[in-house]
Chains A and B, each alone.
Chain A
Amino acid sequence: MTEKNAAGPELACAKCQQALVLGKVKASYLGNSFEVDLLRCPGCGFVYVPEALALGKMLQVEQALEDK
């Protein structure tokens, strides 16, 4: 399932002022990696994690990994 990025206006990296672009990101936690599509800064590599994701699915994944 893919969630549409409904963010509307383009987001920019606070440090580099460059527009964030959608790209494949390898996110890892406690040695487990996941390939996800997130907004990244092409300049510094900063990855933008929407709050809803951080507090939602991503937190669930964290908890699941810690729970092992």
Chain B
Amino acid sequence: MSDRLLAVTESVCPVCLRTVAAQRVATGDDVYLHKRCPEHGAFKTIVWRGLETYFQWGERGSRAAAPPVTETPVERGCPHDCGICPEHRQHSCCVLLEVTQRCNLRCPVCFASAEREDSDPDIAEIEAWLRLLQRHGSPVNIQLSGGEPTVRDDLPEIVARCRMLGFDFVQLNTNGLRLAKEAGYAKQLADAGLDCVFLQFDGVSDGVYRRIRGANLLAVKKTAIMRCADAGLGVVLVPTLVPGVNVGEIGNILAFALARVPAVRAVHFQPVSYFGRYPAAPADRDRITLPEVMRELERQTDGMVQASDFAPGSAENAYCSFSGKFFVGGNGRLHAAAAPGGGCGDSSSGCGCGLPAADDAAQRARRVVAGQWAAEAAEAASPDTPGIGIASFEAFLANHRHSFSISGMAFQDAWNLDLERLRECFIHVVSPDRRVIPFCAYNLTSASGEPLYRRPHHECALA
């Protein structure tokens, strides 16, 4: 097969993490990232299987925008100057706060290496992070993340603090264990102002959970969703897709989600990426790329969802994600809705809750129940049936078509990192030393497991 150069970009050497030139090269229908380190040799990694969508995604063009506030100077070049540096090309849309490094599970695929003991940042420190974000001006969505945030007993207080400081959208990334086990916990978080739960949800069989998370968790997930529904918390299911483990469950995951609409608002797929120690480069067969996820969605739903229903995400680099808006018809089937527009939170690309950003204000208002209604006397005549009659509400609800989002984001690792994508990253993390770092830079580790940025909290001098 003849190779065809599609684009030049930059990446890092997976061994020493130095910045190196890279090329996107098509071989047959597949797109690979090629790069060479003067010291550690050449590397080639699959990034996109499907030239047609590669070109379609390219057509969207860049939504680049300079971040309003930058804190770190350009010194060593991307990705070594994060904080955000002036070279960055996108605002913060979602900001992750890692409120703990502890976890109540031991997952082989986890980003955070989930240490059992650690000192969590205290509320004052978290408040300092929030104030840092306030200085950045534009409103951001807060994702409480970890570790597993729910191991902290003061999590509701943290949620309330975010809301108090004017952050209008707060989401929780969780494995669902505590939500399931502790009745009333979901309600407590909702009352504190939590908007939505991003629930790790890797499949609809316990075998998948045992392989990816090391425990039987399906019952836990079901209970967690039920509890969120009762508390009025929207749920987004977040499967990590691992070839050979759960790619075959994509259709069943979607069916499971649709059976739980409107409690479940979206499914957000995350193809596995490789952090930590990998003495040998992960094989291409151990990667699933975004176009394959879209094709599997079409195949595994017998065409109810079409690959052509999807478009690149909103503000991030086009090759970072796909996103589709649907509505659930009366028969429980999905129908494609309008193509996603631009802007932060408009897609559910790991950010937002499947609701358009414009609805945030409305969501706030929702807490003043019935306060937004206008009422006037209709006709003087008494109702035929004595009693409060709300048949028209019920008729409306019966016919209402719930909206539903399906999206995916391909996180980058040391092998497939494309700095053009990274510079347009809009999902950021506040680091323990109070810098704002693009997510895929923050989690980057070399083949030997050396992190580019992430340091365990206890190694950092906290104020």
Contacts and interface: CB of A to CB of B under 8 A. Distances in A.
Interface string A48-64: 01100111011111111
B393 A49 contact: no
B375 interface: yes
Given A34-B396, A59-B366, A24 B379 contact: yes
B369 interface: yes
A59 B224 CA distance: 22
Given A23-B377, A45-B376, A58-B370, A64 B388 contact: no
B393 to A, nearest CB: 5
A61 B397 contact: yes
A60 B152 CA distance: 32
Contacts of B389: 2-3, 36-37
Contacts of B283: none
B392 interface: yes
Interface range for A: 35 or more
Interface range for B: 35 or more
B388 A25 contact: no
Given A1-B391, A1-B394, A64 B383 contact: no
Nearest to B359: A66
Contacts of A1: 390-391, 394
B370 A49 contact: yes
Interface centre among B375, B380, B387 (most CB of A within 10 A): B375
A52 B54 CA distance: 51
Contacts of B116: none
Interface in A17-41: 22-30, 32, 34-40
Contacts of A5: 386-388
Contacts of A4: 386-388
Nearest to B380: A23
Given A28-B373, A67-B355, A67-B402, A2 B388 contact: yes
B235 to A, nearest CB: 14
A47 interface: yes
A2 B240 CA distance: 46
A29 B373 contact: yes
Contacts of A15: none
Nearest to B232: A59
Contacts of B383: 22-24, 37
A57 B390 contact: yes
B12 to A, nearest CB: 42
Contacts of A45: 375-377
Given A2-B387, A36-B389, A59-B369, A28 B359 contact: no
Interface of B: 262, 355, 359, 362-363, 366, 369-370, 372-383, 385-394, 396-397, 400, 402-403
10 contacts: A2-B388, A2-B389, A3-B390, A22-B386, A22-B388, A25-B378, A58-B390, A59-B366, A66-B362, A68-B403
Interface of A: 1-5, 22-30, 32, 34-40, 45, 47, 49-50, 53-55, 57-64, 66-68
Q: Top 6 closest A-B pairs, CB basis?
A: A37-B389, A24-B378, A37-B383, A54-B370, A34-B392, A47-B375
